[in-house]
Amino acid sequence: MKLTESLRKELRVTVDYTNMTDKYLGDKGISAKTLDSHKKLARAAHAYVSENRGRDELFMGWTELPYNQSAIVADILATAKLIRRKFDNFVVLGIGGSALGPAMAYTALCHLHYNDLPKSKRRGPKFFVEDNVDPVRMKQLLDVIDVTKTCFNVISKSGATSETMAQYLIISDLLTKAGVNIKENVIFTTDASRGNLIKISEELGGVKRYVLPDGVGGRFSELSPVGLLPAAVLGIDIKSLLKGAAYMDKLCKSPDMRKNPALMCATLQYIAMQDGKNIGVLMPYSDNLKYVSDWYAQLWAESLGKNVTLDGKACHVGQTPVKALGVTDQHSQVQLYTEGPFDKVVTFLSVGSYKEKTPIPHGCENIPDVAFLGGHTMEELIKAENKATAYALTKAGRLNYTICLPEINEFTLGQLLYLFELQTAYAGAMFNIDTYNQPGVEAGKKATFALLGKPGYDLQKRDLNAAEADPAYII
């Protein structure tokens, strides 16, 4: 994408927080006075994030990903070209931060029925992200791919995640049985120096490997090789994705929340959370953006859901992310959002111009209830419904705001991802928590190790076995 300065401005992602304000929501809205009273906190959060940019030891390496990867990008593009030539399928084996990003970018930037397109109309091999250990799913994936013609990108920072490593064991066994040298069909994306995938790679005589930098945690890794390799294989313009992120970084330089969209979103959400709005709905009006909600849910929930502040005080903060899709969920969840408890903030993701307009032909002229639709386009319809839902929520006194992508492409998606990452970093700083750890997730990982007999977890295994369900409570 040739990004002139005027095209960048045209494609700028914006935040419209009109419907968060008391001007439009009355006493249910946030006043300018309340915003002003959070200025100091917002400035401090901005300062914390700016001063610690790129610091690996704080897991803030993600801030620099738009700038420090030119050699890696060149390598990824060359590798992607080879993969496209050689393989019929590309399968990501990973989970959490090692899978949600690739799945989100695929859905956002590829044809919605990509795998069903004939080969001549696809820019790359068929694409699958296997982020579960549902045995049926694994078996049924194997029903539709030929492993010998498949490139498996095993993504795991630790190389110790049971789900991913179980998948790896299955596919490496299948490849060996099919007479394939594993290293021909496998690419690892993993930590720089630690982790089992490095050892495995060495045992196999050197598997192609990409590095997930030390200071980049899983949920902040989409703009690292974790997301860039799968995207490049799909023919996604990864340079524009990174340029979009850098552009949003530039738009968020100011410590003044009114001039910094990510800081404004973080401050609004922080104020709302302090007022008991413990649910954050993300509602894209686009099927392409549907999985942005899954990616964001992890980023927001795993980063902010914490029980202790950095100075050791108990806190129990966080906001439960809810995934909704416009317009589909207008016909289900929106009833609750409009009339249920005042415990939510709804964030709409709107699209300025959709890739397709899809005209609605005239017809049913004798039935006014239907005929009025003729002559419009589906783009007009979805945009009208987006506006109508925001209007209805506002009339009902419900906090909502809109992030608008002028169109969906690599440059705007890059902006959106970086906006959410910065918003999360600012919000974490406001709560004074460790935004980058995940002891709750790791507790589950360790309990799984114990249950499946990993050495060193005997004590926990005993504890878990003692916690068997009590028959007295099974009905």
Q: Angle at the Cα of 107 (from 422 to 235), degrees rounded to 5?
A: 95
Catalytic member of 81, 445, 454, 461: 445
State the minimum distance, in angstroms, from the CB of residue 191 to ligand PA5. 8
For 74-200, list the strands marked E by DSSP.
89-93, 126-130, 150-155, 186-191
Q: What is the largest CA-CA distance in the chain?
A: 75
What is the phi/psi pair of residue 81, to 5°?
A: -60, -45
State the minimum distance, in angstroms, from the CB of residue 247 to ligand PA5. 25
Does residue 331 carry a catalytic annotation? yes
- State which residue, 249 or 294, has the beta carbon closest to ligand PA5: 294
State the minimum distance, in angstroms, from the CB of residue 1 to ligand PA5. 29
Residue pointed to by tokens 């069903």: 116
DSSP element (H, E) containing 331: none
State the minimum distance, in angstroms, from the CB of residue 122 to ligand PA5. 28
Rounded Cα distance, 169 and 174, in Å: 9
DSSP element (H, E) containing 185: helix 182-185
State the minimum distance, in angstroms, from the CB of residue 211 to ligand PA5. 13
Catalytic member of 331, 339, 356, 468: 331
The residues near 4 (Cβ < 8 Å, ≥ 6 apart) are none
- State which residue, 264 or 425, has the beta carbon closest to ligand PA5: 425
The residues near 408 (Cβ < 8 Å, ≥ 6 apart) are 108, 109, 286, 288, 289, 351, 354, 355
- What 3-state DSSP class applies to 344? strand
Does residue 139 carry a catalytic annotation? no
State the minimum distance, in angstroms, from the CB of residue 221 to ligand PA5. 7
Interface positions with ligand PA5 (CB under 6 A): 95-98, 156-158, 161, 164, 217-219, 302, 438, 441
Rounded Cα distance, 14 and 37, in Å: 24
Does residue 316 carry a catalytic annotation? no
- State which residue, 223 or 283, has the beta carbon closest to ligand PA5: 223
Whose CB is nearest to ligand PA5?
Answer: 218
- State which residue, 98 or 412, has the beta carbon closest to ligand PA5: 98
DSSP per position, 100-157: HHHHHHHHHHS-TTGGGS-GGG-SSSEEEEE----HHHHHHHHHH--GGGEEEEEE-S
Catalytic member of 64, 130, 163, 302: 302
DSSP element (H, E) containing 367: none
* Order of strands, sheet of 344-351, starting from the edge strand that comes earlier in the sequence: 14-16, 400-405, 344-351, 279-284, 320-323
- State which residue, 183 or 219, has the beta carbon closest to ligand PA5: 219
Burial readout 201-213 (b: 16 or more C-beta within 10 A, e: otherwise): beeeeebbbbbbb
State the minimum distance, in angstroms, from the CB of residue 30 to ligand PA5. 30
- State which residue, 58 or 378, has the beta carbon closest to ligand PA5: 58
- State which residue, 41 or 427, has the beta carbon closest to ligand PA5: 427
Residues taking part in catalysis: 302, 331, 445
